[in-house]
Amino acid sequence: MHTFQPDLFSGRHALVAGGTRGIGAAVASHLAALGATVIAGGLDDTDGSLADGIRVAHLDVADDSSVQGLFSSLERLDILVNCAGIIRRSDEHRPEVFERVLAINLTGSMRTCTAARPLLKASGGAIVNTASMLSFFGGGLVPGYAASKGGVAQLTKSLALAYAADGIRVNAIAPGWIATALTQNLQDDDARSQAILSRTPLGRWGSPADLGGAVAFLCSPAAAFITGVILPVDGGYLVA
């Protein structure tokens, strides 16, 4: 946290889709700690409540009316972070499950980016999407998740081009193996966890907090000439 000035985002307004748990919650907390006014959007029935100074708002990224309702209520937006996502593992071989995963992970990101564009154009803001290691290689048990995250990477690059004239930068983080509820079964399986750790040069599971600094950098003036980047935050897993 001390890498950045504590008032780095003072006066800035951020919305974190999927910001009520896991990586999204850690990102929301990090931005708030750096002075941003943060809304954490999620499916929790806690609309309007405050958690650690962060306003929680209901947001279903797969529902047009939910997205439009929230974004139309905003007067200003400087930062959009897309962290909403699901994984259904072997069930994703069923077409209806595959479609649901894409609807949230990929189309949901496009939906929020589209809704945020006018506000971000007015502020010269930034978008950070959440890609994955599976943006770079396949996953036999998770065809929907892998396809959606490959799509997020290409969406990020495409919107970086499309939004550049509006002064909006669009980048993505690509988390490695992060200790969240989505990976709990792998963490609890000693053999699978050891296989992951043995390939990870830094030798540990990542924590959601590890993503906060990467997002803060991509949204900060230090990244003013960076757009269209997919930034791995993986302890070196991809290069091992």
Catalytic residues, which ones? 145
Helix H or strand E encompassing 188: helix 184-188
Q: CB burial class (10 A; 0-12, 13-18, 19+) of residue 22?
A: buried
As a whole number of Å, the CA-based R_g of the chain is 17
Q: CA-CA distance, 26 to 213, in Å (whole number)?
A: 10
Q: CA-CA distance, 138 to 42, in Å (whole number)?
A: 28
Residue 45 has which token pair?
A: 């029935």
Q: CA-CA distance, 145 to 160, in Å (whole number)?
A: 22
Identify whether the C-beta of residue 46 lies closer than 8 Å to the C-beta of residue 33.
Answer: no
Residue 26 has which token pair?
A: 């850690």
The full DSSP string for 62-122 is: T-HHHHHHHHTT-S--SEEEE------GGGGGSHHHHHHHHHHHTHHHHHHHHHHHHHHHH
